[in-house]
Amino acid sequence: MRRPVIAGNWKMYKKIGEAVEFIAALRPKVAEASHCEVVVAPPFTALQAVAKAAAGSNIQVAAQDVAWEKEGAFTGDVSAPMLCEAGCTHVIIGHSERRQIHGETDERVNRKLKAALEAGLTPIVCVGETLAEREANRTHEILERQFSGGFAALTASDFSRIIIAYEPVWAIGTGRTATPEIAAQSHRYLRSLIAEKIGKSVAEQIRILYGGSVKPDNIQGLMAQEEIDGALVGGASLKRDSFSAIVNYP
């Protein structure tokens, strides 16, 4: 049984005060949610305050990026041990906005992923094709490339600690959700890649979340797919009512 994960990616929204207020309001709304893991990913500046505000609840905290080195002359970067110290348990790696805006490559994703694992963080690694790639029938090719590069040289035991998020770039922030069937096809393909390259039992156990315009009114259809193990939610995770409705989908 793969335990679902509902994760909210706040992107560059919410100052510390707003973030803490949000958690205080969210706590009672998701307190009964034993069917899934609940994760929120605030901006770096709010991580520690959110971790404190969520202490003792079922809300876990993720960062939105991580450096691959532990420390050093890397202006602007934040390392995995620093994220742990701030109270993070998870970290999002390779989000399409980082790939597109910040030139994140599969090789960098791989280094960050290893750094996160070494520090004991649970990585949520994003993959997904753009609209042009989908229309050119290149979805599998892109997922294969992102998988081979981003997840290179990892062991089966590493995989048991990783969460994957399939986020078709054309569905992010556009209001255009992949249909549950389209999402499930890509999830199946990713699982088949893992089965082939790493092993069948690893493939059966790894959780693959869907991301891209997930909302309270489409979560049930997505979660009805056997292949979909949860959601990485952007816009709809910023409001307490919509995020808690998504968490409480069953």
Site for ligand PGA, rule CB under 6 A: 9, 167, 172-173, 211-214, 232-236
- Cβ 182 to ligand PGA shortest distance, Å: 15
- Cβ 195 to ligand PGA shortest distance, Å: 26
> 212: phi > 0 → left, psi -120 to 50 → alpha, else beta; which?
left
Can you give the three-state secondary structure of 87-121, one letter per residue?
Answer: CCCEEEECCHHHHHHCCCCHHHHHHHHHHHHHHCC
Active site residue 21: no
Of 41 and 119, the one with the shorter C-beta distance to ligand PGA is 41
Count Cα neighbours of 1 within 13 Å in the Cβ-side half-sphere.
4
Active site residue 35: no
Q: Which of 133, 167, 187, 227 is catalytic?
A: 167
Of 180 and 211, the one with the shorter C-beta distance to ligand PGA is 211
Separation CA 219–CA 174 (nearest Å): 16
- Cβ 22 to ligand PGA shortest distance, Å: 16
Separation CA 212–CA 134 (nearest Å): 15
- Cβ 23 to ligand PGA shortest distance, Å: 19
CA-closest candidate to residue 3, choices 229, 233, 191, 231: 229
Of 139 and 242, the one with the shorter C-beta distance to ligand PGA is 242
Separation CA 173–CA 219 (nearest Å): 15
Of 62 and 198, the one with the shorter C-beta distance to ligand PGA is 62
Catalytic residues: 95, 167
